[in-house]
Structure 1
Amino acid sequence: MFKVTVTIDNDILRFIDEQAQGNRSGYINAVLTEHRRCVLEAEMIAALKQDIEDTEYQAEIAAWDRVVGDGIHAEG
């Protein structure tokens, strides 16, 4: 963990103090962790939508699906 110094508007700090129940760092970390999760989820959804719209990529996936399903199994 790192300690950092940030500047926060007075109204925001009052809100944090109301919500934090005495643990500003814990509250801020929880809020930012949730925001990060939402951003990553949105990025993954956007990437999946882009993959779906990419006909060349979809054709390559279909070709690999045919190869995987051809009944040839590697011996381990």
Structure 2
Amino acid sequence: MATKVTINLDDQVLAFIDTFAHRQAATLKIKPNRSSFINAILSKYRQELLQQELAAAYQRDAEDTTYQEEVLAWDSVIGDGIDVL
């Protein structure tokens, strides 16, 4: 789903979008227009931010000794009850 919005852009930013929307359309596999280019760039940026946040969360988990002890405790019982059936 797409929603039409109105935004204000600096002239230089708009010139960049106009230039690269057409130039990068094939590379990004998008239509050569402003909307497709902005969507592609923002989607890529969003994905990169999410990956950074996920990596930071994994790092915090790795450094959290209480969390690591809890993981080990649960790992030791992971197979309990599998042979019941």
TM-score relative to the length of structure 2: 0.81
1:35 and 2:36 equivalent? no
In the other structure, the counterpart of 1:45 is 55
Task: Give 1:69 shift.
Answer: 4.4
1:17-47 Cα distance to aligned partner (Å, 9 max, x none): 0011140000000000000000000000000
In the other structure, the counterpart of 1:6 is 7
1:17 and 2:18 equivalent? yes
* Structure 1 runs, 4 residues or longer, greater than 4 Å off: none
In the other structure, the counterpart of 2:75 is 65
Higher relative contact order (Cα pairs below 8 Å, separated by 6+ residues)? 2
The alignment-based identity, stated in percent, is 46
What is the identity, as a one-letter code, of the residue corresponding to 2:10? D
Task: Give 1:68 shift.
Answer: 1.2
Whole-angstrom distance in 1 between the partners of 2:59 and 2:79: 25
CA RMSD of aligned residues (A): 1.2
- Structure 1 unpaired stretches of 5+: none
Number of positions where the alignment pairs a residue of Structure 1 with one of Structure 2: 74
